[in-house]
Amino acid sequence: MSEKTLLKVEGMSCQHCVSAVTNALEALPGVKKVKVSLEKGEAKVKHEAEVTLEAMKAAITEAGFNTL
């Protein structure tokens, strides 16, 4: 069953940042869909249950951004 997670992302300032966060999250096994909003500073992730919040936060951090 799919789950949805909303992550607040700090440090994005342009569309390149949005692409970097999107690509980092989409690279995680089990992630189905990612929608990143520069204006809201958030990422909405549709994923399988086995994808942990910690893994998503780690992917964002590795891409050079912070999560709340």
Tens of pLDDT, residues 2-55 = 999 999 999 999 999 999 999 999 999 999 999 999 999 999 999 999 999 999
**CA distance between the termini of the chain:** 25
Sorting pLDDT into bands at 50, 70 and 90, what band is 1?
Answer: confident
The pLDDT of residue 13 is 97
The pLDDT of residue 28 is 98
Per this entry, what is the length of the chain? Answer: 68
Q: Is the CB of residue 48 less than 8 Å from the CB of residue 30?
A: yes
pTM value is: 0.96
Please state which CATH class domain 2-67 belongs to: alpha beta
The pLDDT of residue 41 is 98
